[in-house]
Amino acid sequence: MGVRRIGRVELPHDPPAFLKARLAVRRHPWPGGRGISVGLSGGADSLALTAALAAERPGGSEPLAVVVDHGLQKGSAAAARDAAREARRLGLECRVVAVRVAGPGGEEAAARRARYAALADAAEGRAIAVAHTENDQAEGFLLGGLRGQPAGMAAASELAGAPGGLHRPFLGLRRADTAAACRELDLRVWSDPANADRRFRRVAIREEILPALECLTGADPIGPLAAAAARARLEQDAVAERADGIDAGSCEELAAAPPAVRREAIARLIRGAGAAPTAASIEQVEALVTRWRGQGPVAVGGRGGARLEVHRARGRLALFRQKGAPDA
């Protein structure tokens, strides 16, 4: 594709895996006029994406690399510095942002919230690129299924605090592709110890469940699972569009909506109050609308130790931080 050097990284030939990464970046529908910020962990996926963005420079501007140091592991600061060094070898400006990981939902969820908040802040209006692959799509679909909410990731989606949106140009690539691209460019890849810790559900799915599925079916399950995730995302987007017109507090409007739209509106109501909706909590709140018998409030969790409850009162749903609500 004409580029023989990226920053200080030499390209002695046209490396096939890296060309594949560059094509994925080139074909992605980036928003115009905003510039691009890329989340860089130092792992193969994000390094390959950073290199591809450095080579392609969508929109003609230099991408900004952002490394988020979660501080969860010994040596995380050194790993962040190493990742930043690779970004600068590729000729990019790089910022390292340290965050504090805290909050409900476990360490993984808290780290994810902190990471995306930091990326949005550092992007300063740029589009944010992250390196989720087809493998991540398949794993996420199975994880969502365990929560009763199977869904896929979109190639482009909204992100709070990021007017340029969140972009995933690598959903059509495998981890094997990104690892090969990094080898071709002789990039220094960081291996996150957490990716080998089977206490985390995602790692257990990757290391145990997916190989078991391949053994059971005699075929690679990643492609079909990722395709199912993509279809689920399309359906989810259609439901979300319908839910935009629903007053999530109105029992009358919720009762008249199709079930999938009603559940999406209820999930938004719970999420908007700072809690994480689950299949069980959505179903219980839905019962306040469709099977109302004067039952009590539904606990939906919360943040910062606050216990949130959904009450039905005078034909509307409302969230309270303490027990007690007006009579229905």
Listed range (21-25, 40-44, 198-202) with the worst mean pLDDT? 198-202
Q: Name all contacts of 110-113 with Cβ < 8 Å and 24+ positions apart.
A: 111/70, 111/72
For 66-112, write each residue's pLDDT tens digit.
999 998 888 899 999 999 999 999 999 999 999 888 766 677 788 88
Three-class SS state of 3? coil
The average pLDDT across 267-284 equals: 89
pLDDT at position 150 is 81
Residue 323 pLDDT more than 80? no
Distance separating alpha carbons of residues 285 and 89, to the nearest angstrom: 53
The average pLDDT across 255-283 equals: 92
pLDDT at position 5 is 86
Structural domains of the chain, with CATH: 5-196 (3.40.50.620), 246-320 (no CATH)
Residue positions forming the annotated binding site for ATP: 41-46
**What is the number of residues in the chain?**
328
For 166-201, write each residue's pLDDT tens digit.
999 999 999 999 999 999 999 999 988 888 888 888
Distance separating alpha carbons of residues 254 and 182, to the nearest angstrom: 50
Residue positions forming the annotated binding site: 41-46
- What Cα–Cα distance (Å) separates residue 195 from each residue in 47, 198, 203? 16, 8, 6
Distance separating alpha carbons of residues 200 and 132, to the nearest angstrom: 18
- Three-class secondary structure assignment of 229-277: HHHHHHHHHHHHHHHCCCCCCEHHHHHHCCHHHHHHHHHHHHHHCCCCC
Q: Which of the given ranges, 150-154, 199-203, 260-264, has the highest pLDDT on average? A: 260-264
pLDDT at position 179 is 98
pLDDT at position 49 is 99
pLDDT at position 109 is 80
Displacement of CA 265 from its chain's centroid (Å): 20
Distance separating alpha carbons of residues 96 and 81, to the nearest angstrom: 8
Q: Which helix (DSSP H) or strand (DSSP E) does residue 291 occupy?
A: none
Which alpha helices (H) appear in the chain, and where do they start and end?
Answer: 16-27, 44-56, 76-89, 106-123, 134-146, 175-185, 201-204, 210-217, 222-243, 251-256, 259-272, 279-290
pLDDT at position 326 is 44
For 106-137, write each residue's pLDDT tens digit.
777 888 889 999 999 999 999 999 999 999 99
How many CA within 13 A on the CB side of residue 81? 4
pLDDT at position 2 is 56
| Sole residue written with tokens 């039905």 | 312
Hey, what are 301's tokens? 């969790």
